[in-house]
Every structure is written in structure tokens, then in C-alpha cells.
């Protein structure tokens, strides 16, 4: 969908929407407030008006949501996840005195001095299942990730990008994952 606009126009729109999303606090607002924010963007001649020149009128909102604001949310999520050190997460979550990083990215892998291995699956609170699946798939396909025949300990690092999650939601996610031996580390900006 982002290819509907020339690159320079799309970049200008994205920069403008990202700036306004920061000013609005898009990542920390609820659905209703963000719906109004999107309406304002659609009605803005410098954003919605320009997009209308390249896509059908009914698809302007979809373009802003799927083509721009989803990228904004992904960028914010990455910033939150990258601002938390995997070693600190492991030390805090598993009560380990020290660890060192073997791999970092969507999956972080750490090892303690006593050869215990930890896999951190990273994602958002809303898509914690995806973070778990990525961690499990990594363990299944990576030779040598088991130490002395033991499977690694898993922790999900979940970004909280808005205030929609309640303590009850966190407890439910934590309890569900602890039933299968997975720890959870919630993080926010």
C-alpha cells in the first residue's frame, strides 16, 4: 500500500504523521482518542488531502493506519525493547548474578557462568504468543542451544506501548506463561 505514493511524498507524509503522533501521544492513547486522531489526519489537507491525490478517498484512512501508523507503532516498540538490556532482564527475572550475550535481535540468547542458557523472545503485550512462538522455534532449530541436554529457560520481554493493559491483564499473561515454565518481563518507555 505504501507504494501508492511517490517515495518523496510518502517520506514527507510519514515524517509529518510521526511528528504529530508524538505530539498526540499516539502510543499511549486509547482506541477512541486515536480514532479521532486518525480522523484529524484524514481531514488535514497536508496529510489526508495529499494522500487523496494518489489513493481513492475511502482508502485514505486505511493508508494512514496500515501504511504509516503501524510503522510508527513498530518503531516505538523497537525503541522500548532495545532500551532494556537483555543481561539485566535475565539477572532480574531469573535471579542470576551475571550473564553474557550470545546473540541479540528479535531473540536474545544469554548464558550464565554456570552454563545455564536463557532465551528471550521479544514482542508486544498484544502479540505475546508470537514472541513465545519465535523463542520456541529458535530453540527447536538451533543446534547447541541446549547445555548438557537441558533446554534453555525462556523469558518473554513484552513491550507495553499504551496504557490499555491492566494489572489483571499482566497477571493473566504471567500466570498462563508460568504454567509452561516461561517467565515474563514487561517493559515500557
User: So what's the pLDDT on residue 129?
Assistant: 94
- Cell, residue 126: 498484544
Q: Which residue shows C-alpha cell 494522500?
A: 51
- CA distances (Å), 65 to each of 45, 60, 61, 162, in order? 17, 9, 6, 16
Say how far apart CA 68 and CA 53 lie, in whole Å. 17
Sign of the C-alpha dihedral, residues 62, 68, 72, 75? positive
User: So what's the pLDDT on residue 150?
Assistant: 85
Rg (CA), the chain: 20
User: So what's the pLDDT on residue 146?
Assistant: 78
Q: Which residue shows C-alpha cell 514487561?
A: 186
Q: Are 185 and 92 in contact (CB under 8 A)?
A: yes
- CA distances (Å), 71 to each of 8, 20, 27, 46, 68, in order? 17, 14, 12, 19, 5
- Cell, residue 111: 548464558
Q: If you average pLDDT over every residue of the chain, what do you get?
A: 89
CB atoms under 10 Å from CB of 36, counted, come to 12
Give the residue ranges of DSSP H helices in the chain: 7-24, 31-43, 48-52, 60-62, 70-82, 86-94, 128-141, 167-178
pLDDT for 93-143, tens place per residue? 998 888 888 777 789 998 888 888 999 999 988 889 999 999 999 999 988
Say how far apart CA 155 and CA 14 lie, in whole Å. 34
Element holding 118 (H helix, E strand): strand 117-124
Under DSSP, the state recorded for 53 is T
Q: Which residue shows C-alpha cell 517467565?
A: 183
User: So what's the pLDDT on residue 2?
Assistant: 44
Mean pLDDT by runs of 10 across the 189 residues of the chain is: 76 95 84 91 94 87 92 91 91 88 83 89 91 94 81 94 83 96 93
User: So what's the pLDDT on residue 1?
Assistant: 42
Query: Residue 185: CB partners within 8 Å, gap ≥ 6?
Result: 84, 89, 92, 93, 120, 155, 156, 157, 158
- What residue ranges do the domains of the chain occupy? 2-77, 83-187
Amino acid at each position: 500500500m505504501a507504494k501508492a505514493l511517490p517515495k518523496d511524498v510518502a517520506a514527507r507524509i510519514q515524517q509529518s504523521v510521526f511528528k504529530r503522533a508524538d505530539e498526540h501521544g499516539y502510543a499511549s492513547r486509547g482506541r477512541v482518542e486515536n480514532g479521532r486522531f486518525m480522523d484529524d489526519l484524514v481531514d488535514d489537507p497536508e496529510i489526508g488531502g495529499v494522500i487523496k491525490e494518489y489513493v481513492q478517498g475511502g482508502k485514505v484512512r486505511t493508508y494512514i493506519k496500515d501504511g504509516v501508523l503501524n510503522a510508527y507503532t513498530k518503531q516505538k516498540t523497537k525503541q522500548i525493547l532495545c532500551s532494556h538490556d537483555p543481561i539485566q532482564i535475565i539477572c532480574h527475572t531469573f535471579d542470576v548474578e551475571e550473564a553474557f550475550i550470545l546473540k541479540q535481535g528479535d531473540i536474545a540468547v544469554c548464558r550464565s557462568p554456570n552454563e545455564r542458557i536463557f532465551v528471550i523472545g521479544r514482542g508486544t503485550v498484544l502479540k505475546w504468543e508470537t514472541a513465545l512462538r519465535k523463542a520456541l522455534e529458535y530453540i527447536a532449530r538451533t543446534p547447541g542451544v541446549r547445555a548438557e541436554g537441558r533446554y534453555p529457560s525462556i523469558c518473554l520481554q513484552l513491550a507495553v506501548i499504551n496504557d490499555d493493559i491492566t494489572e489483571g491483564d499482566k497477571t493473566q499473561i504471567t500466570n498462563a506463561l508460568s504454567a509452561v515454565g516461561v517467565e515474563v518481563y514487561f517493559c515500557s518507555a
